[in-house]
Amino acid sequence: MSGQKRILLIISGGIAAYKCLELIRRLREKDFLVRAILTKAGSEFVTPLSVSSLTEDKVYGELFSLTDEAEMGHIQLSRDADLLVVAPASADILAKMANGLCNDLASTTLLATDKPVMVVPAMNVRMWEHPATKANMETLNQRGVVQVGPDEGVMACGEYGFGRMSEPADILQAIETHFSQESKPKQSSNTALRALVTSGPTHEAIDPVRYIANRSSGRQGHAIAAALAASGIETILVSGLTDLTPPKGVKLIPIESAREMLAACNDLLPVDITICAAAVADWRVKDAGSQKMKKEKGGLPTLELVENPDILHAISNAGKTRPSLVVGFAAETENVVNHAQAKRKRKGCDWILANDVSEGTGTFGGTENTIHYITNDGVTDWPKMTKQAVAERLVEEILAHFADLGKTTDQAAAD
Which CB sits closer to ligand C5P, 38 or 374? 374
Among 175, 226, 244, 276, binds ligand C5P (CB under 6 A): 276
Strands (DSSP E) found in 39-188: 59-60, 83-89, 117-121, 146-147, 151-154, 160-164
Among 106, 278, 374, 395, binds ligand C5P (CB under 6 A): 278
Element (H, E) at 392: helix 387-414
Q: Does 247 bind ligand C5P (CB under 6 A)?
A: no
Strands (DSSP E) found in 240-300: 251-254, 273-276, 283-285
Q: Does 118 bind ligand C5P (CB under 6 A)?
A: no
Among all residues, which ones are annotated catalytic?
157
Q: Does 310 bind ligand C5P (CB under 6 A)?
A: yes
User: Which one of the spans 37-45, 158-166, 285-293, 309-317 is the region binding ligand C5P (CB under 6 A)?
Assistant: 309-317
Strands (DSSP E) found in 106-148: 117-121, 146-147
User: Which one of the spans 90-98, 324-332, 372-380, 391-399 is the region binding ligand C5P (CB under 6 A)?
Assistant: 324-332
Q: Does 218 bind ligand C5P (CB under 6 A)?
A: no
Closest approach, Cβ 204 to ligand C5P, in A, equals 11
Pairing state of beta strands 33-38 and 351-356?
Answer: unpaired
What are phi and psi for residue 143, nearest 5 degrees?
A: -85, 0
Among 93, 155, 244, 280, binds ligand C5P (CB under 6 A): 280
Beta bridge partner(s), residue 279: 201
CB 364 within 8 A of CB 358: no
Among 175, 196, 258, 354, binds ligand C5P (CB under 6 A): 258
| Distance in angstroms (rounded) separating the CA atoms of residues 70 and 64 | 11
| Distance in angstroms (rounded) separating the CA atoms of residues 55 and 36 | 7
Closest approach, Cβ 256 to ligand C5P, in A, equals 14
- Residues that contact ligand C5P, how many (by CB under 6 A): 13
For the chain, how long is the longest CA-to-CA vector? 77
Q: Does 308 bind ligand C5P (CB under 6 A)?
A: yes
Among 87, 330, 354, 374, binds ligand C5P (CB under 6 A): 330
Q: Does 51 bind ligand C5P (CB under 6 A)?
A: no
User: Which one of the spans 86-94, 186-194, 274-282, 399-407 is the region binding ligand C5P (CB under 6 A)?
Assistant: 274-282
Nearby residues of 353 by Cβ (< 8 Å), 6 or more positions away: 327, 328, 329, 330, 371, 372, 373, 374, 390, 394
Q: Does 82 bind ligand C5P (CB under 6 A)?
A: no
Coil, helix or strand for 232? coil
The candidate with the shortest Cα–Cα distance to 176, out of 385, 328, 400, is 385
Closest approach, Cβ 332 to ligand C5P, in A, equals 8
| Distance in angstroms (rounded) separating the CA atoms of residues 273 and 398 | 9
User: Which one of the spans 70-78, 106-114, 184-192, 323-331 is the region binding ligand C5P (CB under 6 A)?
Assistant: 323-331
User: Which one of the spans 14-22, 186-194, 273-281, 318-326 is the region binding ligand C5P (CB under 6 A)?
Assistant: 273-281
Q: Does 195 bind ligand C5P (CB under 6 A)?
A: no
Q: Does 197 bind ligand C5P (CB under 6 A)?
A: no
CB 236 within 8 A of CB 250: yes
Among 311, 326, 391, 395, binds ligand C5P (CB under 6 A): 311
Q: Does 312 bind ligand C5P (CB under 6 A)?
A: yes
Residue 232: half-sphere exposure toward Cβ, Cα within 13 Å = 12
Residues that bind ligand C5P (CB under 6 A): 198, 258, 276-278, 280, 308, 310-312, 328-330
